Amino acid sequence: MDETMEKGGTVMDGEQDASTNQNPALGMDPLEPHSWKHGTVVAGVPWKNPVGTASGTFNLDACQDYYDVADMGAIGTKGVSPIPWEGNPSPRTAETPAGMVNSVGLQNPGVDRYLVDELPRLKSLGATVVTNVAGHSDDDYAQVVERLADSPADMLEINVSCPNVSHGGMSVGTDPKALNRLIHRLRGMTDKPMVVKLTPNVTDIVAVAQASVEGGADALSLINTLVGMRIDITTGEPILAQETGGVSGPCVFPIALGFVWRVRKALPDIPIIGIGGIDSGEKALEFLYAGANAVEVGAAALLDPVAPVRVARELDDLLDSRPELADLLAQGKTWK
Amino acid sequence: MDETMEKGGTVMDGEQDASTNQNPALGMDPLEPHSWKHGTVVAGVPWKNPVGTASGTFNLDACQDYYDVADMGAIGTKGVSPIPWEGNPSPRTAETPAGMVNSVGLQNPGVDRYLVDELPRLKSLGATVVTNVAGHSDDDYAQVVERLADSPADMLEINVSCPNVSHGGMSVGTDPKALNRLIHRLRGMTDKPMVVKLTPNVTDIVAVAQASVEGGADALSLINTLVGMRIDITTGEPILAQETGGVSGPCVFPIALGFVWRVRKALPDIPIIGIGGIDSGEKALEFLYAGANAVEVGAAALLDPVAPVRVARELDDLLDSRPELADLLAQGKTWK
Amino acid sequence: MSQAVFTTTEPVIDRARRAGRRPGRRTDMITGMEALDRDVWRMTIKDPFAAQEAHPGSFVNLYPADSMTLLPRPLGISRVLDGGQIEVIFGVVGKGTREFSELRPGDSVDLLGPLGKGFDLGGAAHYILVGGGLGVPPLIRAAQAIRGMEGAQSTALLGYRNLHFADRIVERLVDDLRSISNDHGDVITLLDGVESGIDPSNTVILTCGPTPMMEAVASWAGKRSIPTQCCMESRMGCGYGTCVACVVDTVNGRLKVCKDGPVFRAQDLVWKDGGR
Amino acid sequence: MSQAVFTTTEPVIDRARRAGRRPGRRTDMITGMEALDRDVWRMTIKDPFAAQEAHPGSFVNLYPADSMTLLPRPLGISRVLDGGQIEVIFGVVGKGTREFSELRPGDSVDLLGPLGKGFDLGGAAHYILVGGGLGVPPLIRAAQAIRGMEGAQSTALLGYRNLHFADRIVERLVDDLRSISNDHGDVITLLDGVESGIDPSNTVILTCGPTPMMEAVASWAGKRSIPTQCCMESRMGCGYGTCVACVVDTVNGRLKVCKDGPVFRAQDLVWKDGGR
Ligand SMILES: Cc1cc2nc3c(=O)[nH]c(=O)nc-3n(C[C@H](O)[C@H](O)[C@H](O)COP(=O)(O)OP(=O)(O)OC[C@H]3O[C@@H](n4cnc5c(N)ncnc54)[C@H](O)[C@@H]3O)c2cc1C
Ligand SMILES: Cc1cc2nc3c(=O)[nH]c(=O)nc-3n(C[C@H](O)[C@H](O)[C@H](O)COP(=O)(O)OP(=O)(O)OC[C@H]3O[C@@H](n4cnc5c(N)ncnc54)[C@H](O)[C@@H]3O)c2cc1C
Ligand SMILES: Cc1cc2nc3c(=O)[nH]c(=O)nc-3n(C[C@H](O)[C@H](O)[C@H](O)COP(=O)(O)O)c2cc1C
Ligand SMILES: Cc1cc2nc3c(=O)[nH]c(=O)nc-3n(C[C@H](O)[C@H](O)[C@H](O)COP(=O)(O)O)c2cc1C
Ligand code: FES
Ligand code: FES
């Protein structure tokens, strides 16, 4: 009866969930130098800790003011397209309960500028880089991957899941056959570890996951945003100029976790990057227990620039008391 | 420049979103008698206001202690099956950011008990009743509908969207062909207005909506819960005994709204009951502007028994200043 | 949803009663806070309705203020105090209880209740209250009630992990109090210790604590044919009977802890599945 | 996420500087609150870093405490005050600003900033500050800066819906103040009124207010070849340049209001799409 003598169930770790952090004495300082204790390996690529930045929520010029990008497990960069894209008109964001919806629509300066402006700087700063690849068509994706094949990017992440572009984007990511064909084609073009980023807006996530893996994906990342919207009750009109957008933030956390869990059950061996609503080391840890090799922090970084580093530090400490999990991750394996 | 002289955009209505209600002088008292000013009509059935209770979150014995069930636009009752179902093992619920996940699994005493215990009492109390129909197979659904065909239920809601039962439930709701066949069969068995309750866990909501309508649905209700889960970081195990469950509450609001919006755009004429994350008159109103004829309150009722009546009162007042919308609803039509 | 519509207790109670109803969720004032142990707190709340309606074994839902944590936190009412106050004793185990532990007298907290069907205190008998850790609070309310019953006798047997945080409160309410820490034994040790003084035909055991502890108590009592009532715990969605999230397995099927319980007769419980 | 990790201003500022960085989100103390009008508030906040770095046109992100409302509320810095304080003036338009309006001195609020690229105050000139309603605050900070520039002259032309809530603060900072309510006219009426005293070659217009107002001002100024800077508004995801949610259309493409702006040269703006 020893272990169960006290009623009340789960005892909290020393760490706090950031969402209700009431503890000023947390002690964790994302700005102090830190030696990472627990690394991970994703599709053969070592990350110094299991926490990366999620694509579209990291901009080098903006973020380097606040933290050292070399402190992250990996830096996931904004989707790049073959030519510059101007994205969708404003407004591009609205608030939702414990979350947000965005319709940025992959505004980016194009792969050529990325190769000159952003990637070399990131690499010279010591970052492990996951380059997010966007396209309106198979040819678009192929063009970008071709340009990136000899670049210093550490991994490529094929974004077949953006709900905010009318062609390509999510439509490829919901059709296992089209997805398989695309990934197969891209596979032939590069030796870089290739991550396929999946959309949650599907009936059968396992089918698209499997199609990606069979097409040659080295890893999967999930989830991208869920389709959603807000309406302005003073006008009766959608707040976003694009009407609907993609929902992310803490609100999607349990949904994202469920997707990772189901994919891990179906595909025991594929490396997985878990994404969705992570704002604390504890939430990151739930993803690792669900079978992810690593995680990425998205919306939380919008609300506090140092959130990705904070999550990484919190997780690093939580893993101290979980050597079985930490050891598996360090070997490129996952829980269960 | 008159209207725009003040910067700052949206000006709030007098009403408060309950989620951050800081205004003790709200004045709205769900326990005082009230004459409803703004009714709606759903598939020919008049509701005295556009707010109902969502299936599975209303239990007569529990709720009648707190409010007069005749005050609601409609009472949606728990899914009933041909025989008693015992549901899933405990734990059946876990908390999520601004929401919850449940795996009740349609525990219910069966249609026969429902017809004796619950339905006559609800009718004698003056409620408009939407009876939720559950099944593991087409035959199950048919058996329940047969038993209900001559009952005093005002509407039937066919639940093809429960993520917590292994057969039937969501699997029918994700397959347009199977769904069409089922609804067609049920259509032949009753003259009662038949609502089909859709799942958000699909790639193409319009396809299932259309299949339902073509099968003979008089109305659609959406959304049911999204698949999700939580993990206990002290054990590494899922909190729910069933591992995954259905996510609902404020967190799903923007997602639900987006589903209603897309179905309304594709099917301008079908009556729609909007469900998902509604906890205030303002949120209800967003659904009406998205094209719903009525709404239902689910998880919010778990957190405050009088929430459904409060939402109805708040909405009734908000509609005072929106006669165009109120008039459309009263005629059984919808915004745009 | 993080705060109720009503921010004063009396009006909502009055209005509800006028309408022939129970008051819904309301915002109450905290009148006292005291640390009983590291991370164990005693909180008193002014709520005349809850104070008046609380039975032994009743609980209240308290709600954290932050919207990340919307679900109710069920806490047993440990005592009813003068001036329309109730007392709860809780341990800090997660976000909600941590938030509660930071509240201070004068702060407010949202509350629903009292809820649940409590202990069945038939009449004069020897009541043995067997509690473990944070399962003690509902037994304190039971002790309070038994103390007022003519001819009834009470013995409290309490097991703790460390500090005997509730002894000071319980000792004034029972005829005999024995408590023990994990490293010295458990409540079965204590039951064995009092067995000789027990007349099974006139004894009732009330127990609350971790499920494995209650199962052991029920088994001990079963062998001696002593009727036993168990105050169960379960994760709740609503706490007032509307969602069917909180079931335990019984010989009569899956029943709601929040409304059919939290107190069940030991012989009605099916321990295997309910024990998670 | 509803509260920052750091609950005191100085340590996070110091630590960030030591690491060669800008301080992230932090929890600051409110030092003053005053109602300027029905639902218009003046709040002062202690934040030495923001006070030191604020340029005219800079803004800060304030964050509501409730997790239902996570996004930043960008508010222009209206003045820098002694003792490392900044002032913001805001209208209650929704949930976040309502929550802010209920805070009182001694309460805390989460803050990030200062953010944005402000007005370009080249040097001695006649600055005409054209503000509408809640667009006035950033112009107050501009007036504060211009007042310290040798040889510079300032005229403020302010349009209000009702009460002239900012006049009392602005009048002490400018050489000439004229303000008008909706029912008497708008800022164009005021511009027409001062036109005769303006030398276009030595004049700069700084404007902030509703987009249609700024468009009208830019058009008026364009006809007279007066260089004009507009302080734009947009719904933001981050406020510090990482998410590309806040764009306006310019002749140089879609630029970020939060980092490339909020101040843009009128001739660079493409009004049609940005006006929503
Ligand atoms: C009828 C009843 C009476 C109770 N009485 C007491 C009491 O008097 N004193 C006391 O300290 N504790 C009591 N508990 C346990 C108490 O409810 C939990 O410790 C508390 O809900 C944990 O909340 P949290 O936010 O700190 O934990 P978190 O883990 O953050 O909570 C997350 C969710 O899980 C639920 N949860 C977590 N642990 C438990 C648990 N053990 N039982 C039920 N739900 C849980 C929470 O309510 C919440 O919905 C009682 C439980 C029940 C069912
Ligand atoms: C650079 C900049 C400077 C500003 N300076 C001031 C100022 O000094 N004084 C002042 O009163 N207002 C100012 N505003 C407008 C102010 O940000 C909004 O009024 C405020 O964010 C509304 O928040 P809410 O929670 O009350 O409204 P809600 O409608 O509940 O807010 C919901 C979401 O929409 C956003 N939002 C709503 N209205 C606006 C708006 N008009 N502009 C941008 N985002 C909006 C909110 O930030 C939030 O993310 C400024 C805006 C910008 C972009
Ligand atoms: C503003 C914004 C922009 C995004 N842009 C991209 C993108 O370019 N490519 C991509 O694959 N995902 C993009 N995403 C999705 C995120 O990478 C992430 O998958 C999603 O937001 C869920 O994580 P979160 O809940 O932590 O934000 C974007 C998300 C946001 C909020
Ligand atoms: C505890 C619980 C039980 C539910 N049971 C049912 C059910 O029996 N039948 C059904 O169609 N939907 C059921 N639902 C789904 C709700 O009716 C509703 O569609 C969903 O919760 C979304 O609304 P909400 O966010 O307001 O809760 C249940 C939801 C909850 C939370
Ligand atoms: S918790 Fe909802 S029925 Fe018990
Ligand atoms: S608000 Fe994020 S880039 Fe401007």
Does D107 score more than 90 pLDDT?
yes
Residue type for position D216: A
The answer to whether the Cβ–Cβ distance between D243 and A310 falls below 8 Å is no
Q: Is A63 a catalytic residue?
A: no
The answer to whether the Cβ–Cβ distance between D71 and A93 falls below 8 Å is yes
From the CA of A102, the nearest ligand is 3
What number is the average pLDDT over the span A236-250?
98
Q: If we measure between CA atoms, which residue out of D90, D80, D117 comes closest to residue D246?
A: D117
Nearest atom, ligand 2, residue D90 CA: 11
The answer to whether the Cβ–Cβ distance between C95 and A10 falls below 8 Å is no
What number is the average pLDDT over the span D93-111?
96
pLDDT for B3 equals 37
The answer to whether the Cβ–Cβ distance between D97 and B6 falls below 8 Å is no
Q: Tell me the three state secondary structure of residue C31.
A: strand
CB contacts under 8 A, D 216-245 vs A, are 234-238, 240-245
- Is some CB atom of chain B closer than 8 A to the CB atom of C62? no
Does B109 score more than 80 pLDDT?
yes
When pLDDT is cut at 50, 70 and 90, the band that residue A169 belongs to is low
Q: If we measure between CA atoms, which residue out of D217, D213, D151 comes closest to residue D182?
A: D213
What number is the average pLDDT over the span C75-88?
96
pLDDT for C153 equals 94
Does C8 score more than 90 pLDDT?
no
When pLDDT is cut at 50, 70 and 90, the band that residue D42 belongs to is very high
The answer to whether the Cβ–Cβ distance between A228 and B98 falls below 8 Å is no
Does C260 score more than 90 pLDDT?
yes
Nearest atom, ligand 6, residue D256 CA: 4
The residue nearest atom 52 of ligand 1, judged by CA position, is C233
Does B170 score more than 70 pLDDT?
no
The answer to whether the Cβ–Cβ distance between B17 and D99 falls below 8 Å is no
Ligand 2 lined by D102 (C-beta under 6 Å): no
Concatenating the DSSP letter of every residue in chain D gives --S-S---HHHHHHHHHHTTS---SEEEEEEEEEEEETTEEEEEEE-HHHHHHPPTT-EEEEE-SSTT--S-EEEEEEEEETTTEEEEEEE--SHHHHHHHT--TT-EEEEEEEESB-----SSSEEEEEEEGGGHHHHHHHHHHHHTSTT-EEEEEEEESSS-TTHHHHTTTSSEEEEEEGGG--HHHHHHHHGGG--GGGEEEEEES-HHHHHHHHHHHHHTT--EEEE-----SSSSSSS--SEEEETTEEEETTTT-BEEEGGGB-HHHHT-
What number is the average pLDDT over the span A184-207?
97
pLDDT for B167 equals 62
The residue nearest atom 6 of ligand 1, judged by CA position, is C75
Contacts of C246 in chain B (CB under 8 A): 90, 92-93
Does D232 score more than 90 pLDDT?
yes
What number is the average pLDDT over the span C34-51?
95
What number is the average pLDDT over the span A255-267?
98
pLDDT for A168 equals 59
Q: Residue A113: in which H helix or E strand, if any?
A: helix A111-113
By DSSP bridging, strand B294-297 and strand A231-232 are unpaired
Residue given tokens 């700087």 in the structure block: A121
Tokens of A33: 């130098």
Ligand 1 center to residue D7 CA distance, Å? 28
CB within 8 A of D98, min separation 6: which ones?
B12, B20, B22, D92
Nearest atom, ligand 1, residue A8 CA: 41
Task: Write the pLDDT tens digit of every residue in A41-95.
Answer: 999 999 999 999 999 999 999 999 999 999 999 999 999 999 999 999 999 999 9
Contacts of D187 in chain B (CB under 8 A): 1
Give CA C269 to chain center in angstroms.
18
Measure in Å the smallest separation between the Cα of B231 and chain C Cα atoms: 14
Q: Which of A160, A162, A257, A270 is the catalytic position?
A: A162
Q: If we measure between CA atoms, which residue out of D66, D53, D50 comes closest to residue D10?
A: D50
Contacts of C132 in chain A (CB under 8 A): 1, 4-7
Measure in Å the smallest separation between the Cα of D10 and chain A Cα atoms: 14
- Is some CB atom of chain B closer than 8 A to the CB atom of D200? no
Does B49 score more than 80 pLDDT?
yes
Give CA A236 to chain center in angstroms.
33
From the CA of C260, the nearest ligand is 5
Measure in Å the smallest separation between the Cα of C72 and chain D Cα atoms: 17
Q: Which residues line ligand 1 (CB under 6 A)?
A: A 7-10; B 95; C 59, 71, 73-76, 88-91, 93-97, 134, 137, 233-236, 262
Measure in Å the smallest separation between the Cα of C237 and chain D Cα atoms: 19
- Is some CB atom of chain C closer than 8 A to the CB atom of B71? no
pLDDT for A122 equals 98
Ligand 5 center to residue B220 CA distance, Å? 28
pLDDT over 70 percentage in chain A: 90
Q: Which residue has the higher pLDDT, A255 or A7?
A: A255
Contacts of C179 in chain A (CB under 8 A): none
Which is it for the CA torsion B17, B18, B21, B24, positive or negative? Answer: positive
pLDDT for A6 equals 39
What number is the average pLDDT over the span C71-97?
96
pLDDT for D158 equals 95
Contact B260, B39 (CB under 8 A): no
From the CA of D100, the nearest ligand is 2
Q: Of A165-169, B143-147, C84-88, C213-217, where does mean pLDDT reach its minimum?
A: A165-169
Task: Write the pLDDT tens digit of every residue in B186-219.
Answer: 999 999 999 999 999 999 999 999 999 999 999 9
The answer to whether the Cβ–Cβ distance between B78 and C244 falls below 8 Å is yes
State the best of B102, B107, B252, B304 to mutate against chain C, taking most chain C CBs within 10 Å. Answer: B304
Ligand 6 lined by D226 (C-beta under 6 Å): no
When pLDDT is cut at 50, 70 and 90, the band that residue B162 belongs to is confident
pLDDT for A29 equals 77
pLDDT for A167 equals 62
pLDDT for B5 equals 36
Does B25 score more than 50 pLDDT?
no
Task: Write the pLDDT tens digit of every residue in B275-316.
Answer: 999 999 999 999 999 999 999 999 999 999 999 999 999 999
- Is some CB atom of chain A closer than 8 A to the CB atom of C68? yes
What number is the average pLDDT over the span C215-223?
95
Ligand 6 center to residue A93 CA distance, Å? 10
CB within 8 A of A225, min separation 6: which ones?
A101, A102, A162, A163, A200, A245, A246, A247, A248, A252
Ligand 5 lined by C232 (C-beta under 6 Å): no
Contacts of D254 in chain A (CB under 8 A): 86-87, 107
The residue nearest atom 46 of ligand 2, judged by CA position, is D73
Task: Write the pLDDT tens digit of every residue in D174-199.
Answer: 999 999 998 999 999 999 999 999 99
Average pLDDT, chain B: 91
Does A118 score more than 80 pLDDT?
yes
Q: Mind spelling out the 3-state secondary structure of D193-216?
A: HHHHHCCHHHEEEEEECCHHHHHH
From D6, D8, D237, residue closest to A302, measured CB to CB: D237
pLDDT over 90 percentage in chain B: 86
Residue given tokens 């000789």 in the structure block: C196
Residue given tokens 């929040």 in the structure block: C258
When pLDDT is cut at 50, 70 and 90, the band that residue B32 belongs to is confident
Contacts of B325 in chain A (CB under 8 A): 236
Using alpha carbons only, give the angle A111, A115, A121 rounded to the nearest 5 degrees.
135
Does A23 score more than 90 pLDDT?
no
pLDDT for D275 equals 38
The residue nearest atom 12 of ligand 4, judged by CA position, is B55
Task: Write the pLDDT tens digit of every residue in B77-99.
Answer: 999 999 999 999 999 999 999 99
Nearest atom, ligand 1, residue C98 CA: 26
d(C-alpha B172, C-alpha B167), whole Å = 9
pLDDT for C137 equals 95
In degrees and rounded to multiples of 5, residue D108 shows phi and psi of -120, 160
When pLDDT is cut at 50, 70 and 90, the band that residue B28 belongs to is low
From the CA of B53, the nearest ligand is 4
Task: Write the pLDDT tens digit of every residue in C157-205.
Answer: 999 998 899 999 999 999 999 999 989 999 999 999 999 999 999 999 9
Ligand 5 lined by C112 (C-beta under 6 Å): no
Does C236 score more than 90 pLDDT?
yes
Contacts of D67 in chain C (CB under 8 A): 66-68
What number is the average pLDDT over the span B40-69?
97
- Is some CB atom of chain B closer than 8 A to the CB atom of C247? yes
pLDDT for C9 equals 63
Does C102 score more than 90 pLDDT?
yes
From B31, B92, B102, residue closest to C19, measured CB to CB: B31
- Is some CB atom of chain C closer than 8 A to the CB atom of A24? no
When pLDDT is cut at 50, 70 and 90, the band that residue B269 belongs to is very high
When pLDDT is cut at 50, 70 and 90, the band that residue C11 belongs to is confident
Does C74 score more than 90 pLDDT?
yes
Does C1 score more than 90 pLDDT?
no
Nearest atom, ligand 3, residue A161 CA: 11
d(C-alpha A295, C-alpha A52), whole Å = 6
From the CA of C37, the nearest ligand is 1
**Buried-exposed string B189-205: b where 16+ CB fall within 10 A, e elsewhere:** bbebbbbbbbbbbbbeb
CB within 8 A of B151, min separation 6: which ones?
B115, B119, B131
pLDDT for D99 equals 96
Q: Which of B45, B69, B162, B220 is the catalytic position?
A: B162
When pLDDT is cut at 50, 70 and 90, the band that residue C17 belongs to is confident
When pLDDT is cut at 50, 70 and 90, the band that residue B46 belongs to is very high
Which is it for the CA torsion C43, C45, C51, C57, positive or negative? Answer: negative
d(C-alpha A188, C-alpha A197), whole Å = 18
